[in-house]
Amino acid sequence: MNAGKTVFAQLMDFIPAREFSGCVDRYQGNYKVSRFSCWDQFLCMAFAQLTYRESLRDIETCLRALGPRLYHAGIRGHVAHSTLADANETRDWRIYADLAHVLIRTARQLYANEDFGVELEQAVYALDCTTIDLCLSLFPWARYRTKNAAVKMHTLLDLHGNIPAFIDVTPAKIHEIHILDELLPEPGSIYIVDRAYLDFERLYRLKQGLAFFIIRSRKRFCFRRLHSHLIDKNTGLRCDQTILLKSFYPAKFYPEPLRRIRYHDVETDKNLTFLTNNFLLPALIITQLYKCRWQVELFFKWIKQHLRIKKFYGLSPNAVKTQIWIAISIYVLLAIVRKQLGLELTLYPMSQILSLTLFEKMPLLEAFSHTNRQDELDLLSNQLDLFDL
């Protein structure tokens, strides 16, 4: 019998203790707390994410059933659903948002050289948002429409490794275009966005920040063609033009030339038109980059399917944001463990294995060593793989 740490305790060792303490102290998370610390709260919520618990009472029942193993897992406080509910309601969600950003920095360094299908050295980001539906009678503060409630999770995904570089949770009634005001442009980087973010004033701010953007244009807008570049129509390209905007407000907000690329997608039999301020990359690379934007959609589908962010353990904005940020922390933590242990598994089988072995006493690497890569491909061929090698 392995007399060492449990798998859960070894997994949590990848959380930097000093940085976590700094996050807690920053928002006085343990102020007047004697029995159930922020660390205990995080461990309980991490357990819930990894084992797919449905409710606070479900969490309490499962953890109490562990008996002495609970102490060896690192949970020192008394676990009760009322205590955990109170912690989720009152302790600042920014503690776990800051922790997620600490983990994100680590993960982005580990995945900085990860290939995403286009050979580029500079940072490439895909920006989008997803709507998380809520019950209006339980979450009246998140009213979206007359009979609906929801929040939006805005995500800037680093395509080198599919690691979220920026996340914000807002009421769904706030239009996604406003999230561009929160971004600090990274010089030299490329931002890929859908046409819902088409606002020339905000796009011009990205350009002034020395960043590049790629966005789909609307079907009809006024422009003046300055120059047409040579293209190979056999590649699907239909035009590559340098243009100036003609309409009053677009021309006022974006007074400089833009590049307009029109492309025919054979798979969908659709004509797509892109606008960009990047005049250096070949036109076909621009179209390939936009296709990579689909990775952020896969990210949303993955976390909704395999983490608990659609059913919430608390009703307040603080409880909802706490749960979402802890879920993001677990996602990034799994990505870090995968890279540091040199695993060939994708995140889905990792999460499934952990859900069954969390409180076994074995080396963490051994827990993943019994899964054959070919068996994984055969059995999970219909799963979404963000880290398919």
pLDDT reading at 4 higher than 80: no
Cross-strand partners of 262? 239, 273
* Structure confidence at residue 371 (pLDDT): 57
pLDDT reading at 311 higher than 60: yes
Q: Which of 17-31, 58-72, 113-127 is modeled with the greatest confidence?
A: 17-31
Amino acid letter for position 17: A
pLDDT reading at 374 higher than 50: no
CB atoms within 10 A of CB 88: 25
How far, in Å, CA of 317 to CA of 296, rounded? 24
pTM: predicted TM-score of the whole model, two decimal places: 0.86
188-213: average pLDDT: 94
Contacts of 61 (CB under 8 A, 6+ apart): none
* Structure confidence at residue 389 (pLDDT): 40
| pLDDT single digits (tens) 12-42 | 999 999 999 999 999 998 888 878 899 999 9
278-303: average pLDDT: 91
pLDDT reading at 169 higher than 50: yes
Between 335 and 268, the higher pLDDT residue: 335
**pLDDT averaged over every residue in the chain:** 88
Q: List the domain boundaries for the chain.
A: 7-96+313-379
332-352: average pLDDT: 91
How far, in Å, CA of 247 to CA of 224, rounded? 10
